[in-house]
Structure 1
Amino acid sequence: DFQGKCLLFTEGMWQNENMTMGKQRFIVEEWGPESSCRFITFVGIVSLILSDVQAWRTFFSLCKGHDDSLFHAFLNLLLCLLVVFVVFVAGTISSVGFSAWCDSVTENGVMPSSCEDLQDTDLELGVDSNSFYDQFTIAQFGLWSAWLCWLGLTVLAFLKVYHNHRQQELLDSLVQEKELLLGHPLQRSSCNRNAMI
């Protein structure tokens, strides 16, 4: 628990506590922006809710045999693209921000301990910094896994739009062929164009 402080992008340095004992203490120069941690938390929660809604819609469509129109499939594609982008941004903020913290706490690798080893060290920051490495590793894994899942959903949504578009073209083509074979003028296609506008 960091008591409302954000570990991402936090800057600090090691200083000797006193000259005789040579004991070092980590001093935080500037805590990271709270908005980074809040954004990542918000994106994780919204992504979870949207994935539940998406699963329900898919289950409903499969059980009821309901098929989306081209317009609804396109809206679904836009939503998936938006979520993929936002989750990618959150994953990048998490990875880059945590890397900046680890570079700060290990002094860019100069310290003999790694960032993972330092999670068991009391950094005396006035916050509970135990297992920070494990927690942020799990958070990064979750964000990047969510990104991959939403990327897969986006590909499926694109294929659905493509399939619906091709199906609509096929239906229009079959109607035109039928009218040509029956000798009727192509009045229906002009009505369809007016209806689409």
Structure 2
Amino acid sequence: MPPKLSFSAHLSDRASVSKRGICSIYRSFFTQPEVTLQDKYKVFQAAVRSILTYAAQVWGQNKYLAAEQLQVYFVKLVLKLPRNSPNYILHLEANLEPIFIYTLTQHYKYLLKVLSTMSATRLPQIVAKEDEFRGHCLLFSKGEWLEKDGQFSVNWSSQAYCNYTIFVGVVLALVSAIQIYRMARYIVQGTDSNFLSAFVDVVGCLCLCGMSVVAAVMITFGFIVWCNNMTMRFPSCDMASGQDIDKQDGIDTSNFYIELGTAQFGAWASMACWVGLSVFALLKMCQQHQIRNMRARTFQLLVFIMVKPMSFNIYFKELRYV
């Protein structure tokens, strides 16, 4: 149990233990000239990942200042930088990713593993899928109303519909986090992407846009199929919320209309965002293409000037009189 029931305090305690471990081998390892900087980084990462970021698969979606402060302390210690050195200089000199990138990657890898590979009887799979509908997928589910007891006999659809939308959401969140980190590095370093990077962005945005469209359409039409069954008994689909319509499966219909409506809005909003990002990425690629053409023409002109200076003077005079 973390001290004082606070995970931040627990993480600060783990950071102190990691710092003591690093300091214990500072003179015998980190100060040796024959040890390369990359080997020092590997030892630091081993200490951090075994002590500080233990079980990051569970809590890795959150960023904690104590973890990042430990990395800043290590970089200043190894490179012998003053304590008031700005953090952006540390990232440029050490070329180390923030610890949050590692913990976030571990968290999403764990979620994907739970949803794709673990058996349905495993506790993580049960916890991940436990909801009001007892693990059933509402999208495209059909059924018929029974006259004897007024219950709804559901023919549940495939779980693949819901798994796909969850997968798209996880992928979009992971790609968004990576892009935020990428753009932040460009801003800090004062650089910009090249033509190849812009082309990859265009292809990636188009693929993610297509995945978002499929997920949004799947949620919309799947929800319509379910609501059509609900309106056979209730005046509107939202009035079926909270009604005990399927005692056999033991589902809880409370707030399903709001939850699915929110998911539908989020899917279409995400699709709109990725369409905009695709347009901006395409404009960026066109700009980088123009810059490459300008550089190529400038280089050709410089070669022409150095090889044939007299011809260049004649060419320049002709341009003046055009």
Return the TM-score normalized by structure 1: 0.83
Letter in 2 for 1:149: C
Which residues in structure 2 correspond to 1:1-197 (within 5 Å)? Answer: 1-17=132-148, 24-28=150-154, 30-107=155-232, 111-125=233-247, 126-184=250-308
Letter in 1 for 2:244: D
Offset at residue 181 of structure 1 (A): 3.5
Distance 1:61 1:184 in 2: 40
Letter in 1 for 2:142: E
Offset at residue 155 of structure 1 (A): 1.1
Letter in 2 for 1:56: Y
- The range that moved more, 86-95 or 142-151, is 142-151
Distance 2:151 2:244 in 1: 9
Distance 1:93 1:69 in 2: 36
1:48-89 Cα distance to aligned partner (Å, 9 max, x none): 111111111111112211221211111111111111111111
Distance 2:269 2:214 in 1: 13
Which one has the largest radius of gyration? 2
Distance 1:184 1:139 in 2: 66
- The count of residues paired between Structure 1 and Structure 2 equals 176
Structure with more contact order per residue of length (Cα contacts < 8 Å, sep ≥ 6): 1
Match of 2:45 in 1: none
The structure in which a higher percent of residues are strand is: 1
Distance 2:225 2:146 in 1: 19
Offset at residue 171 of structure 1 (A): 1.1
- Please tell me whether the aligned partners of residues 84 and 151 of structure 1 are also in contact (alpha carbons under 8 angstroms): yes
Q: Aligned residues: percent identity?
A: 31
Match of 1:195 in 2: none
Offset at residue 112 of structure 1 (A): 4.6
Unaligned 5+ segments in structure 2 are: 1-131, 310-322
- Please tell me whether the aligned partners of residues 122 and 130 of structure 1 are also in contact (alpha carbons under 8 angstroms): no
Unaligned 5+ segments in structure 1 are: 19-23, 186-197
Distance 2:135 2:234 in 1: 30
